[in-house]
Structure 1
Amino acid sequence: MEEKKLMDLIDELMTKLGSTEPARPRGRWVEATKSKSSPSKKPRRSKTAYQLKISLNGIRPPIWRRVLVPGHATFDQLHLVIQEAMGWEQAHLYEFHFGDIVIGIPDDWDFYGFGKMFEDARHIPIEQWLKKEKQKFQYTYDFGDYWRHTITVEKIETLPKPLERATCLKGKRACPPEDCGGVYGYLELLESAANKDSLTDPELRERLDWMYEMKGDDFDPDAFDVEEANERLAYIQL
């Protein structure tokens, strides 16, 4: 994407979001306590921007998002970007995988290390690991349902000024509901929804009712709203 067109797109999206701060969504965000001591040194902000494609593994037609993220964003912040762009609820643990390197939030890592090296996602900027276009790495969310995503570095660009927020450029299909049983559980729900008029299994009927309760009666697995995704992303300052 040409630099001018890219910046125009970002400005247009930010304008649509408006200048006022709406209420934060679903109580998931908490304001950080302000320190009364001298302000800490402002972290370096990178003019490098990464265009990433996030694809949910194991589902066809594919569910994916294309986002633009600044190089100074930490992997923990990238986790938040993925959550909001995809439509997840930030209710479970996560990890990024680069071969034998695991990047996440420390949580009894020594217990299941198995020879892997672990890094704290809160302290590592993505530009430290993302070095070239077409590079791929894995993001796993919810170690129960085990949602695996493949992330591809599509473009690395230098912008006139650092990005303040991530932007969703495009995407396809709706995010599955949380805690639905992973890929196979979701595919079973979609099949049940397609045959709901002739569905006789009471357990499947109950699970289908649960899905619509979670996602709304008008849930469309093929729908995706990029503006709605950017409204969620606007809460993440990078």
Structure 2
Amino acid sequence: MAGNGNTAFRFRVTLRLDGRECWREILVPASLTFFDLHAVLQECFMWYGEHLFCFCAAFPNGKQVQVEELWGEEPSYHEAKYEQYMPVEPLPEVRIASETELGDVFPKARTARYYYDYGDDWIHDIKLLRTYRSVHVADPQLWDGAGDAPPEDVGGVYGFERFLDTLGNPEDEEHDGMVEWAEDQMWDRFTLNRHRERLFRWHKHRDMMLQ
């Protein structure tokens, strides 16, 4: 963890949507924990933190690391539960998200994956674009982005396509109900400034809670 306070990372995080564009570019302090990064990405993609998550990365020497919250699970169950995300032989090193800083994994690892909601199975590819050293970045920043992210619990990639088709067809018998559901989910189209405001509000709330 030493030295992470004067380093920042610029990441591009791309949500896999079978050809549909959806990505965010963020600047974050290396001293953030992976749990903090999870919260940042929740804001950037307008998720609501209702489901489990993990980060997976591999170092140049082939060593793999899986970062998440254990939630009190037995280690053997924990390791087997997520074997679909990383090879089980050898088992990855498991680290706790709230105790692992970004600078403990990056920039040694250049890429990672962020998995959210093991039912809908949202997979985000994280690419490290640049490392800034001897700088002070006080708070996470959303620099750029494109594409609408799916609403929470829409039913995976297939469910999102159906959701968009239904919204775009007023003649569909499910259209009005889908519009109402989208409003209940507080789903909205991607707008950079609006998403920036959301991330800013999260960070200010976090600062208040830590005081």
TM-score bucket of the superposed structures, by smaller chain: 0.7 to 0.9
For 1:226 and 1:132, the matched residues in 2 are separated by 30
Q: Deviations 1:63-104 (Å, cap 9, x if unpaired)?
A: 111000011111111111111122111221110012542100
Correspondence for 2:161: 187
Task: Give the one of 189, 192, 205 matched to 1:226.
Answer: 192
Distance 2:93 2:176 in 1: 44
RMSD: 2.4
| Residue correspondences, number | 186
Check whether the contact 2:166–2:178 (CA below 8 A) recurs between aligned residues: no
Name structure 1 gaps, 5 residues minimum. 1-42
Q: How far is the alpha carbon of 1:45 from its aligned partner?
A: 5.4
Determine the structure 2 residue equivalent to 1:154.
129
Q: What does residue 13 of structure 1 align with?
A: none
SS of aligned partner of 2:5 = coil
Task: Name the CA shift for 1:124/1:213 in 2 (closer, same or farther; >3 Å).
Answer: closer
SS in 1 for 2:190: coil
Percent identity over the alignment?
25
| Corresponding residue number in structure 2 for 1:85 | 44
Q: Which contiguous aligned blocks of 4+ residues in structure 1 show a shift greater than 3 angstroms?
A: 204-209
The counterpart of 1:215, out of the listed 170, 186, 200, is 186
Match of 1:137 among 93, 112, 131: 112
The CA deviation string for residues 120-139 of structure 1, in whole angstroms up to 9 with x for no partner, is 01111111111258x21100
Query: Which one has the largest radius of gyration?
Result: 1
Q: Note if 1:103 corresponds to 2:103.
A: no
8 Å Cα contact 2:69-2:97 kept in structure 1: yes
TM norm structure 1: 0.69
The answer on whether the counterparts of 1:63 and 1:173 sit within 8 Å (CA) in structure 2 is yes
Q: Which of 177, 181, 196 lines up with 2:170 in the alignment?
A: 196
Aligned-partner residue type, residue 12 of structure 2: K
Instruction: Kindly indicate whether the alpha-carbon contact (under 8 Å) linking 1:56 and 1:148 is maintained by their aligned counterparts in 2.
Output: yes
Distance 1:163 1:125 in 2: 15
Once the two structures are TM-superposed, the CA of residue 174 in structure 1 deviates from its matched residue by: 2.4
Contact 1:165–1:233 (CA<8 Å) still a contact in 2?
A: no
Identify the match of residue 6 of structure 2 among 35, 47, 68: 47
| TM-score normalised by L of structure 2 | 0.77
**Deviation at 1:171?**
0.8
